[in-house]
Structure 1
Amino acid sequence: MVPWVAGGKARVPLVDGRDLGVAFALATQADGLNNFTSFNICGPSFPTMREIVNFIHDETGAPLPHFGVPLSGAYIFAWLMEKINPLIPGDPFLTRAIVYLGEDWYAPSDLAKKRLGYEPKIDWKTAIKRQLEDMEKQGYPRTSLVDGTRWWAR
């Protein structure tokens, strides 16, 4: 089980694929952009990691973290898990990449709004529900990233 990193307080810049597609279309029509103009393209809000994990738990029955660690402690523990991984079976349940994703990522789409007219429409809960439904329709094997058990089975 991956722990709550920094209490799950980090904001996550989720975006629905439909909003992302609109942003790309707007960029193809925008004037005054050079080949290296970049934009943050995010949804209309920035839920915390705790909100996202709790929502996925409510929708799928995925297990919730039972403990938390501060960000610095998570990096140290992840490094240790990566080092001992060759000695134990399976994947490490925490890596520095996972911890990095657990950092606060507030990346507003203000420049995209100003330069492209981008206005995100689809909230993060709708986006996650749609993704879960698509995965179900496609028979995607929804297993735990930790131990291979079926986390969606209720």
Structure 2
Amino acid sequence: MTRLILNQRAVELDDARVPPDMPLLWALRDELGLTGTKFGCGVAACGACTVQIDGQPQRACVLPVAAAAGRQVRTIEGLGTPDKPHLLQRAWIHHQVPQCGYCQSGMLMAAEALLRSNRQPSDAAIDAAITNLCRCGTYPRVRAAIQTAARWLREGQPWA
């Protein structure tokens, strides 16, 4: 049995159904029904599968379930709710960031980790932290949304 804390609740994964070497992405999507984390490339290059492990962005398509055992795992479903969107989700809407939206859950997870460590990121810091690929090319809006969210945080707005 593999145990982890998923979006602030304890989860147990049966090793017979979820072998320890299964990528976390597939355990999240296929076994736990959390489909917000996307499959993009399968080689950790695009970032569509980005989740947070103990607060740090990780690519779930190459991370085995065993590597998440006993750790805090946060997916896009744990970022905000429809009734109470996260500060970054509000900034994403404000700047109309998504086009197709496929990469956005991974970008939001990476952006949230960045803002937890840097409340005043430069564009260069954003570019260094957000290595996720976007086929639609919304990078300028991503940067603007992160800058807006950072400003809102500095002004005292809550995360959610």
TM-score, scaled to structure 1:
0.24
More strand per residue: 2
Give 1 or 2 for the bigger CA radius of gyration: 1
TM-score (normalizing by structure 2): 0.23
- Higher relative CO (Cα under 8 Å, sequence separation at least 6) belongs to 1
More helix by share: 1
